[in-house]
Structure 1
């Protein structure tokens, strides 16, 4: 795998020239957040003042138990919802706002025809979700049909169909006044074999506020996988997203215990964000024992490392 440092340097130069001028040709003020255009920062799209936001998927305990265990309250709470779920009225969503967490709504269109989304047959559901979002009255992240480039294959791995569906939903939300939605587009860090690459599914700058990545260090418990550092998991797709110039959220991430030092993997997160991934402004840990031992407390050393990372000033903007 090629080193990201060289790519990051080139991207930084490209972004600096892009930010240097506004549409009218006059110079903008310097960007307060390196690499993110000033125009994006002036809009309220939940960008941190500095560093990055730390998020959590609660799969290994209640919110209260997990926060006490980890030593802090996360800034973002990831939850998953089916197509027909009224996630805006969900008690968990409302509790997040009440307790100072920003929801990251992962909206999964299982068993939904993207043709029906595009041709308007499902507008009633979309309009209802838009009205619910507007009624919340606060900013939150909405991640529709994540990991479209991998096994989920939303829209049958047809990029044009995926893009048309995403745009249709976005346009209905805007028309209904749900301008508090922060639109998040989050491919997997790897593409399915013989399927289009991630960037083929990109809906376009007007439709996306944050780009994203879901990625994991799968360890070596399966002989088809190898241990990857935090940098190696995200470097390839980050270089492609960086050219777009949007803030980046890691929508899901975790490491297994088998094949390396998970505590060290966690310790490497903040230094690597600083040195190689300046556009990553939020990361969300997938805290559950699922395909691998993703949970934070899979070992005492891992839990200690995570608590140490969570207290780092970089994650406390």
Structure 2
């Protein structure tokens, strides 16, 4: 084909349109002040100074119109048999794996994170300040669910005020340094379902007081920040609201400067509900409440 001026112009115009479609348009159409990436687009606001490099959360969260799927299994990263079964059945590779770790006995183990990351999944750590041995012992004795809740939520050693004043700083720092050494991002879901009464980090139990959860969260975050950790996606994760007796979620929110993602736990067969409820019935009232104080990206962390 002979190159003529009109043909060259057509090629250039086509290239520019493709660049817009794949690079510029998704950003412009992301919606919301923070958009699905969780960061404010400074260019759109006409800021003179260049914006800071995006945090890991900004690059990992799906673009508008897309979603990711995660898994959580009983064995976690110690055994991927259940993950393999799920992957084969769903014909999809999960992109996130959630696993739990309790402060009483678990130390940082890089192997667990590497095994998840090597399979192409984002490790999401449910980081739990308690001794989960009390929970296991109560279940073995066959206690009722509410009695188990009362036993495991009464652990003064893990009172929120102790976390906030630095009693666990050596432990926190050991994890901060370990996660910092990883060359990939990690989501940390610290103290999930804090608006309930079944964990010792809930404000209504264990001698905790209103405002203590925010203080504890910010302290943990600050320890990591002081250690220079840049690869954490901080995931604040309450339980869905089931009635008006639970605290307002805004009183438990550490603030946008301390949170990257919002996570929600929501079950239709628990919390007094034994019949099927739709996704909207379970989640929408809580999502609506959360959107009154933050527009951070939202994920379903348990369902």
| Superposed structure 1 runs of 4+ greater than 6 Å apart | none
The correspondence of residues 70-85 of structure 1 with structure 2, limited to 5 A, is 70-84=90-104
Q: Which runs of 5+ in 1 are unaligned?
A: 1-28, 254-317
- How much does 1:35 deviate? 2.8
Paired positions, count: 223
Question: Bigger radius of gyration, 1 or 2?
Answer: 2
Which of 232, 235, 240 aligns to 2:281? It is: 232
Which of 141, 153, 156 aligns to 2:203? It is: 156
CA contact (8 A) 1:150 1:192 kept: no
Q: Which runs of 5+ in 2 are unaligned?
A: 1-25, 42-53, 76-80, 131-154
Q: Which stretch of the first structure deviates more once superposed, 91-100 or 187-196?
A: 187-196
1:135 maps to which residue? Answer: 181
2:269 maps to which residue? Answer: 218
1:250 maps to which residue? Answer: 300
Distance 1:107 1:186 in 2: 11
- Which SS does the other structure have where 2:72 is aligned? strand
1:301 maps to which residue? Answer: none
1:119 maps to which residue? Answer: 165
1:311 maps to which residue? Answer: none
Report which of the two has the higher share of strand. 1
1:58 maps to which residue? Answer: 73
- How much does 1:137 deviate? 2.4
Structure 1 residues 40 and 67: CA distance shift in structure 2, 3 A: farther
2:234 maps to which residue? Answer: 183
1:108 maps to which residue? Answer: 128
CA contact (8 A) 2:196 2:202 kept: no
1:171 maps to which residue? Answer: 222
Distance 2:174 2:88 in 1: 36
Q: What is the CA RMSD across the aligned residues, in angstroms?
A: 2.5
Distance 2:95 2:301 in 1: 13
> Higher relative CO (CA 8 A, sep ≥ 6), structure 1 or 2?
1
- How much does 1:240 deviate? 1.7
Match status 1:146 vs 2:192 = yes
2:78 maps to which residue? Answer: none
